[in-house]
Chain A
Amino acid sequence: MTTDEATKSEGDAQTAALVEQGEDITPNQDRGVLKIVKRKGNEDASPMIGDKVYVHYKGKLANGKKFDSSRDRNEPFIFSLGKGQVIKAWDVGVATMKKGEICHLLCKPEYAYGSAGSTPKIPSNATLFFEIELLDFKGEDLFEDGGIIRRIKKKGEGYSNPNEGATVEIHLEGFYGDRKFDSRDVKFVVGEGEDHDIPIGIDKALEKMQRGEHCILYLGPRYGFGEAGKPKFGIEANAELAYEVTLKRFEKAKESWEMDTKEKLEQAAIVKEKGTVYFKDGKYMQAVIQYGKIVSWLEMEYGLSERESKASESFLLAAFLNLAMCYLKLREYTKAVECCDKALGLDQDNEKGLYRRGEARLLMNEFELAKCDFQRVLEVNPQNKAAKSQITVCQKKTKEHNERDRRIYANMFKKFAERDAKEEASRNPGEKDVEKATSEKRLKTPVTEGKEAEGHV
């Protein structure tokens, strides 16, 4: 018997077993996907819709010919379950598997590549055989920072999502540990959930949900109630929360291109006010959303009258300056610098713009650049005491930095030559420590920050 024949007869046996004993796992019970468990899973949990699923698999045609195998590629195959990324048979089949399970699936063409097939590997109207091993799965990490994990209980309809500023009607239930602290129907504007005691993570997650979706959201502290906690709900600082949310309906906010200049300017005044309220309350992420709207509406607006363009410019300047302040607070210094750059693009001698850029650069360990900024502040306003003291800080830091460099290079010169690679490796962590130390120190002694924060609007 040739190997071809051997694989064929093995394939025939597997197919026959599936046809005889396989369980029909299709929702319509049309025998489109038949399944046999070959090895039971080691845990009872099954993946949910939207979960990131890790599998190894092998696929064969009816004639026993292997058309694909993840093991040949030496890497597991990863996809999002239940989102139509893979053939129907898989969305149906993998959802029934337990972690660690190995199963066989027999898939009718209607649940695979249909009458069209998929050139060059899958012929028309092909029934496919798969062996799948479910290695692992995890909830969808919405922003790839581990801050919001979503697990979908019921899939929503279509593909459109609420945008920032959309009006949503949701049902939510909030859990802190085992305790349910919140349960209600609520209607609000995405980005302004805070007004209804809803944490920012829900706002952010809603932008990725569809009408009718029902999901569980696991929020890290940054996306929950943060350092302040929420005494009203008995939630302490830095708590991790879980929410069950159903998006009942929503109405999208107008996109920038749907608004005319007049409307944009009117709205800009409103959102600027909202942003300032959030800022004063220490809700920096919420403030960023509001100020960000001004930028998205007005930054690329052309053909304004003279009066309009003046108004627009002043809104933009305020928005960039306030965004810079928010990003400083959120410790996103690169973004803070970007915003200052844009503000200074509109008004090159802006005192706050220069000062904040200096602050951001100082925190990024760019002492020389920071010093230049503070010196420019003094050129604009010689009375600025804060800037004066910042210059001293810069000088001190530069000195410290130079000394460290000197130590490092002194060592280096001794060994010179090919050692530089190693030296670099030992230098990098050192640099990070210092950065951390400075930022911590700055947090403990907020010299002029508090005062600065108010004066900007």
Chain B
Amino acid sequence: MAIDELQAIVQRCQILEEENFRAEDFNLFQVAGQKCLEEGYAAQLLEVIQNEKNKVIVKNMGWNLVCPLVRCILSYKQEDDKRERCLKILDQLVQLSNPKELLLGLLEQIEQTPGEQISETIMLLLQPLQTVILKLHGKKSYSVGLSLSTILNQLSLLPVPYTKDQIQEDKLHLCQCCNAVVDFTKPFVDEVVKNMKTSESGERELKEELLKFCLKSLKYPLLTAQLDQLEDIEEHPLRHFAAEIIGILSDIGEFTPAVFSHGSHSQNWDNHEFLDIDRNDSVDSLACLSYLVFVQYIGIDCFPMIFSPSYLLQCNLLHVEVLLKRTEESILAKGLDLFESCLLRMDNNSLLHQFLEFRNFITASQDLVKVMTLCPIEDLRKKSLNVLQLYIDKFDTEGKYTLFRCLLKTSNHAGVEGYVIQNIKNQIDLSLKRGQDNKWFTGHQLVSLLDEVFCLPEGAETDLLQSSDRIMAALNLLRYLVIKDNEHDNQTGVWTILTKVTQNFLKPLHTGLNMSKAHYEAEIKNKKENRRESHTSNTVCSVTVSGEKMPNMSAETQLQVLHSALFTFDLIESVLARVEELIEVKIKAVTDENIGVK
């Protein structure tokens, strides 16, 4: 019987001094104890442990029982008596065992737990863990740090619930567990706070461990979590967790420095422990923190409300850059939200063009373009475009001008270029209406920008279908200029460059259109004849997307595509014809007038 075995080993050890315990005694004790638990003798085991005579034995060997004990507890149901008894044993072990070894025993147990039981195990052991650490005299900060990092490492194996249903269900108890971990840290936070008041420097290490924990939590689970307020959920558990984390940061005096710790901006908060933490490792965490503060307003009450909006933008662009480099939906969305929130704090036309001297003010616009052209999620593409427009709106005229020029040169995407040209048109319109502050969107500055607009990169050979958005926008702009600005005033300078535009843009466009149309018409004719000849489709090549073969286009769809291309060409041609007509009329009017004068 297991209990007899246990009694035997215990009796033998009772008479020994603790330094005389042998390795095999530990082994026998563990095996016998485990058997007792498995065979349901928990009550007897509890008696052995509570026995005053066995104090020394339990102190030395008790931690060996953690593993089987946890296994038993998790296997019993919530209201089972046996579970209660096991919990009592655990409680006794925490009271009696050597804290150093027990700590390692507990952490080992947390580390070994497989996927589904991770949260349960952690929640079960948090309280014992806390008691044990509080009993340790030296190396407390190290133990706190080790415990927290072990716990978070284990938790990070779990998927973060994302939809409302998933959050409500919290199947793997992740949300619940996160908030339990916060409770676990409470006494340690209090200790740091207490010592900060008496300005004892000894707790620096503990503070650093707590800071590490906060940063790690910001990276997981918060960075990937969905943190918007949810309807019908009174308290979003992860928002609650976020608020707790920010609460800790604020309590230990690291909140404001953390939000601004990026790059050179940290210089305002000197001598900060923060500098010890590897920055590269925490860029994601800090970006997430900024998001929580400026988008979700969590902790904004602890944040100084005195910074200028442009400075906030400048600091946050570094975070935005980090977030927009990622591809995960939840993280990209956070980046766009953070960018937007910074821009919404600014008045239109108030952002000085000098900020574009900071490299990241340029790269920010390029990151947006990347999202709006490459991201597979439509909502994010749209949002990115909105943010870009907002960004453009905030700059002063010179800033807008520089940004347009840069976007035309770097975006490599006809849609974006078309959009920028549309924006240029709006700015010219404003300039002409206002009649002041028009240095950048009239006259020779504008002319040099228009050079970028009215060109076909590869002359008549340019792929017109690919660049149709850009070409249409350019033609629209030209039409607008010719109608709005007459040759006498020539405010925009368009009449000065007209010959050049005709030569470099309109003429090659004509040629290109003729070539393309002929080509596509021939192709359609071909297709139709082929269809008449044979109904069996013999494919020339196949397209695969991520390993899967795309279905072949039916002859019908192929024809449709070709027709729609032709339609686009017709559209371009009609606008082109209209523009040329307008130019002709205006020039004729002027020459007539001149003749009349003569």
**Which residues of A are at the interface with B, using a C-beta cutoff of 8 A?**
52, 57, 59, 67-68, 70, 73, 75, 77-80, 84-88, 90, 113-122, 141, 144, 157-160, 418, 420-421
User: Cβ of A68 and Cβ of B354 under 8 Å apart?
Assistant: no
**Pairwise interchain contact B306-A116, C-beta atoms closer than 8 A:** no
State the 7 A-B residue pairs at the shortest beta-carbon distance, nearest first.
Answer: A68-B305, A114-B347, A159-B357, A158-B354, A85-B311, A160-B357, A421-B138
- B344, closest chain A residue (CB): A116
The reply to whether A86 and B307 form a contact with Cβ atoms under 8 Å apart is yes
B268 contacts A80, C-beta separation under 8 Å: yes
- Convert B243-274 into 0s and 1s, putting 1 for each residue whose CB lies closer than 8 angstroms to a CB of A: 00000000001001000000000011110000
Chain B hits for A68, CB < 8 A: 304-306
Q: Mark out the residues of chain B between 221 and 258 whose CB falls within 8 Å of any chain A CB in the assembled complex.
A: 253, 256
Q: Is the CB of A116 within 8 A of B305?
A: no
Given A52-B268, A144-B267, A160-B357, answer yes or no on A119-B308 (Cβ-Cβ < 8 Å).
no
- CB neighbours (8 Å) of A160 from chain B are 357
- Residue of A at shortest CB range from B354? A158
Docked-complex contact B300 and A120, CB < 8 angstroms: yes
Is B137 interfacial (CB 8 A cutoff)? yes
Q: A85 near B270 (CB under 8 angstroms)?
A: no
Q: How far is the CA of A207 from the CA of B379 in the complex (A)?
A: 43
Given A84-B310, A85-B311, A86-B306, also A119-B345 (CB < 8 A) = yes
Which of chain B's residues have a CB closer than 8 A to the CB of A70?
304
A-B residue pairs in contact (CB < 8 Å), sample of 9: A52-B268, A59-B306, A84-B311, A87-B306, A87-B307, A114-B347, A118-B309, A158-B354, A418-B137
Q: Determine which of A86, A117, A121 lies in contact with B300 in the assembled complex, contact meaning CB atoms within 8 Å.
A: A121
Q: For A159, give its contact among B138, B341, B354 (CB under 8 Å).
A: B354
With A84-B311, A86-B307, A121-B300 in contact, is A115–B347 under 8 Å at CB?
A: yes
- Asked if B76 CB lies within 8 Å of chain A CBs, one says no
A88/B308 in contact, CB under 8 A: yes
Residue contact A159 to B305, C-beta cutoff 8 Å: no
- Of chain A, the residue at the smallest CB distance from B197 is A74
Known contacts: A80-B268, A85-B311. The answer to whether A118 contacts B357 by CB under 8 A is no
Report the minimal beta-carbon distance from B405 to chain A, rounded to whole angstroms.
17
The answer to whether B308 touches A84, judged by C-beta atoms less than 8 angstroms apart, is yes
CA of A418 to CA of B300 in the docked complex: distance in angstroms? 43
Interface residues of B (CB under 8 A from A): 137-139, 253, 256, 267-270, 297, 300, 302, 304-311, 341, 344-347, 350, 354-355, 357-358
Residues on B with beta carbons closer than 8 Å to the beta carbon of A75: 253, 256
Residues of B within 8 A of A117 (CB): 345
Bound: A90/B307 CA distance, A = 9
Residue of B nearest to A88 (CB): B308
Cα–Cα, bound, A421→B139 (Å): 8
CB-CB < 8 A to A67: which residues of B?
A: 305
Q: Are B300 and A158 in contact (CB under 8 A)?
A: no
The complex places the Cα of A420 from the Cα of B310 at a distance, in Å, of 52
Shortest beta-carbon distance from A190 to chain B in Å:
18
Q: How many Å lie between the Cα of A86 and that of B268 in the bound state?
A: 13
- A67's nearest neighbour on chain B, judged by CB, is B305
Residue of A at shortest CB range from B356? A159
Contact B138 A420 (CB under 8 A): yes
Q: Given the known A-B contacts A75-B253, A119-B344, are A85 and B357 also in contact in the complex, defined by CB atoms under 8 Å?
A: no
- Say how far B90's CB is from chain A's closest CB, in angstroms: 26
Given contact pairs A116-B345, A160-B357, A79 touches B305 in the complex (Cβ within 8 A):
no
A141 to B354, CA, bound (A): 24
Q: What A residues does B345 contact at CB under 8 A?
A: 113, 116-119
How far, in angstroms, from A117 to B305 measured CA to CA in the complex? 11
Distance of A79 Cα from B305 Cα, bound (Å): 13
- Chain A contacts of B347 at CB under 8 A? 114-116
Task: Chain A residues near B355: list those with CB within 8 A.
Answer: 159
CB distance from A29 to the nearest CB of B (A): 21
In the bound assembly, the distance between CA atoms of A118 and B342 in angstroms comes to 9
Q: Which A residues are in CB contact (< 8 Å) with B305?
A: 59, 67-68, 118, 121-122
Smallest Cβ-Cβ distance to A77: which chain B residue: B304
Question: Are B297 and A120 in contact, with the CB atoms below 8 A?
Answer: yes
A226-B307 Cα distance, complex, nearest whole Å: 40
Given A159-B355, A421-B138: A78 and B269 interface contact (C-beta under 8 Å): yes
Closest A residue by C-beta to B269: A78
Residues of A within 8 Å of B268, CB to CB, are 52, 78-80
**A121 → chain B closest CB, angstroms:** 5
Chain A contacts of B308 at CB under 8 A?
A: 84-88
- Of all chain A residues, which has the CB nearest B358? A159
Q: How far is the CB of B387 from chain A (nearest CB, A)?
A: 15
In the complex the two chains form, is B309's CB within 8 Å of A86's CB?
no
B568–chain A nearest beta-carbon distance, Å: 39
**CB–CB B253/A90 < 8 A:** no
By a CB distance below 8 angstroms, the chain A residues around B310 are 84
